Structure 1
Amino acid sequence: MGRGITQMTLLLLLCFTALFYVLPLAEAVWLTIPTSGAKCVSEEIQTNVVVLADYYVITGHDPHHHTVSVKVTSPYGNSLHHNENATQGQFAFTTVESGSYVACFEMEGKPQEEASVSLEWKTGISAKDWESVAKKEKIEGVELELRKLEGAVGAIHGYLIYLKDKEAKMREISERTNGRVAWFSIMSLSVCILVSVLQVWYLKRFFQKKKLI
């Protein structure tokens, strides 16, 4: 009996470990910044999520030759980070709005060639400093991994709730739109019937005045 429980515990631990390593730890992207205009990247994030990002500029010949202007905005257009004349930098914030968060990069001056920006974007559990947590709570090894798994499960649960709420809002909007379309169709049909009746009535009076009927 005890051996069966131990095997089941190990199996559950392996499943959770696999689930944890399947989760994306960070999103690293390379952006090619054109000589004119901005290049933007966005990510849809729910509320109360920690976001941490590092970026640096690389050009074809001289990594310090070009500078960029960086601006990060929330779904409602609030500025969360703004940096000019930058070759590298970092931004961090906790989301208070759910939706698409946008980071835009634009080259400054009059560059003759394109530049590349490396952006490492971390959200949620991947942005947490587990080394500090381990030192503060004096945990290590299996206990630390279990804390990471607990955080991963919490993040998944929060994301599922976010998707559920989003689906409910989308369904409400869809039902409201369908109702408006139905009323518009009824009104359009009513107007068509009324116009047809008025046309028949007008033509009947016209022919009666002309003594054609």
Structure 2
Amino acid sequence: MSTSALKQALLLLLGRLLCVEGLMFQLHPNNHKCLAENVHAKTLVTGEYEVSEVPNQVVHFQVIDQDSHVLANRQEAKGHGKFAFTTDKDTKFEICFVSSVQAGQSGLVHDITLTTKHGVEAKSYEGLADAAKLKPLEMQLKKLEDLSEAIVQDFAYMREREEQMRDTNESTSSRVMYFSLFGLCCLLGLATWQVLYLRRYFKAKKLIE
């Protein structure tokens, strides 16, 4: 296979694997909408948004993690904007848009477009290629290498989660078994007490000897 054909094949493969889709939604006046996503530790997250401008009302933009740490913030998100941050640990972050309308105004709907990238997708390989003086094919190979590492990390994370879930299931099964045994012992003890009580009662009434 020639270098040109190999390059085209790599570009096609990367185009399929690294495809990023934008999200478009509407934000009603004096309302808010949040989008959540889980990411691994030490992951670069980048994003772009576009907010339609409406007179006499603003949109506040904020990104927070599960510990309520503010990762990005814009008091007045107008037009086109960008954000970027790197996570310190495995976490879930939320991207929130909040509409605010001046008192006495009915308000209009904002059209919002949001695109996010993380991991390999968020890296700027063009800048890396310029800094390291990499050829186009070498840059594509670097992308494939990073993508392979990301896939391996994802599988390792999935395996770790599977082990945690298995341990949780085994622990739950053990607790259910012990609880069932405890309940069975209680029922046997209650049944024995009832038999002894009734036997004593019937003997007291001289219904049995």
Confirm whether residue 118 of structure 1 aligns to residue 109 of structure 2.
no
The offset of 1:91, in angstroms, is 2.2
Structure 1 residue 99 displacement after superposition: 3.9
Give the distance between the partners of 1:193 and 1:19, measured in 2 at CA. 66
Residue equivalent to 2:198: 203
Q: Which runs of 5+ in 2 are unaligned?
A: none
Go from structure 1 to structure 2 and tell me whether the alpha carbon gap of 1:48 and 1:172 turns closer, same or farther (over 3 Å shift): same
Shift, 1:132, TM fit:
0.9
Aligned partners of 2:91 and 2:146: how far apart in 1?
A: 22
* Residue identity opposite 2:47 in structure 1: A
Residue 151, structure 1, aligned to residue 146, structure 2: yes
Q: 2:175 matched to 1:180? A: yes
In the alignment, structure 1 residue 33 sits paired with structure 2 residue 47:
no
Q: Check the 8 A contact 1:67/1:86 in 2, yes or no.
A: yes
How far residue 10 of structure 1 moved from its aligned partner, in angstroms, is: 9.9
Q: Deviations over 1:18-66 (max 9, x none)?
A: 54222234341112223344211112211111101111212xxxx2433
Q: State the partner residue of 2:69.
A: 78
Task: Give how far 1:133 is off.
Answer: 0.4
Question: TM-score with structure 2 length normalisation?
Answer: 0.83
Equivalent residues in 2 for 1:42-61, closer than 5 Å: 42-58=36-52
Aligned residues: 203
Distance 2:196 2:207 in 1: 15
Q: 2:162 & 2:201 partners in 1: Cα distance? A: 58
Distance 1:164 1:186 in 2: 33
Asked whether the 8 Å contact 1:75–1:97 carries over to 2, the reply is no
Asked if the contact 1:52/1:123 (under 8 Å) is kept, the reply is yes
**Equivalent residue letter for 2:157:** Y
Is there any run of 5+ residues in structure 1 with no aligned partner, and where?
Answer: 1-5
CA separation of 1:142 and 1:15: change in aligned 2, threshold 3 A: closer
8 Å CA contact 1:75–1:101 kept in 2: the answer is: yes
Q: TM-score, normalised by structure 1?
A: 0.82
CA distance in 1, matches of 2:41, 2:86: 8
Give, in angstroms, the shift of residue 159 of structure 1: 1.4
